[in-house]
Every structure is written in structure tokens, then in C-alpha cells.
Amino acid sequence: MRNAALLLGVIGGLLALLVGFFTYGYTEFIDRYGEVRGLAEQVDRVGLIRAVSFVAPLLAIAGGGMARVRALWGGILMLISTGLMLYAFDFGVFTMFPIGMTGLGGLLAIAAGRPDEPKSHF
């Protein structure tokens, strides 16, 4: 279970990184070149979008990397990343896989209470 959590966390974090690049770049583009009514308008919470674009992928990748040794901490980081992405970006066609993979990785990491290794967090 810890290996699955590691893979899901890292892959979900990399996909979240792509979403983060796009959303941060979109807000910068609109700030620099202005809005086009009906086509490209600025989001309401620019600061939140930019912060989550940076923090959520970091938490997901770090949580995935920690999942083998410190499953509880890694799972908590992945679930925080999932919550941030869900709150800031909503659930849509481009965010469903980062949110789903990171959330499932977090749940699997927390559920790994009795691993094959003697290092259990329960």
C-alpha cells in the first residue's frame, strides 16, 4: 500500500504541477495583457490561485516521497494538497486526475497501518 501511495502521490503531484503552471501563467497573462470580455477574464481570487499553484504540487510530491517511511505524515500532506486543489481549482476535466490520484494516495498512506516493515504509525 505504501508503494501505491508513493506512486499516486508523485504522479498526482506532477499532474498538479502542470495545472499549477497553467493557472499561474493564466493569471499573469491576464494581468499583463488585460481581459477579453467573454473569452479570457481574470479569476476572483488571484492570490489564492497563485499560492495553491505553488504549494499543492509541492505537498503532493513531498507526501508521496514520504509515504514509504512516514506513511501518516505523507498521507496527511497529500490530503492537504488534495483539499487545497479542490478548494482553489474546483473539480473539472483538468483537475480530476491530480485530485483523485493525490487523494487516493493520501488515503492509502494513512490506511497503511500495518505494513510489511516494522515501522508502523499506529
pLDDT one-digit tens code per residue, 24-66:
999 999 999 888 888 888 888 999 999 999 999 999 999 999 9
Biggest distance spanned by C-alpha atoms of the chain: 59
Spatial distance between the Cα atoms of 46 and 24, rounded to a whole number of angstroms = 9
Spatial distance between the Cα atoms of 116 and 108, rounded to a whole number of angstroms = 14
Spatial distance between the Cα atoms of 19 and 85, rounded to a whole number of angstroms = 10
Q: Give per-residue pLDDT as tens, 67-120.
A: 988 899 999 999 999 999 999 999 999 999 999 999 999 999 999 866 555 565
Mean pLDDT of the chain: 91
Residue 38 is predicted with a pLDDT of: 82
Q: Give per-residue pLDDT as tens, 76-91.
A: 999 999 999 999 999 9
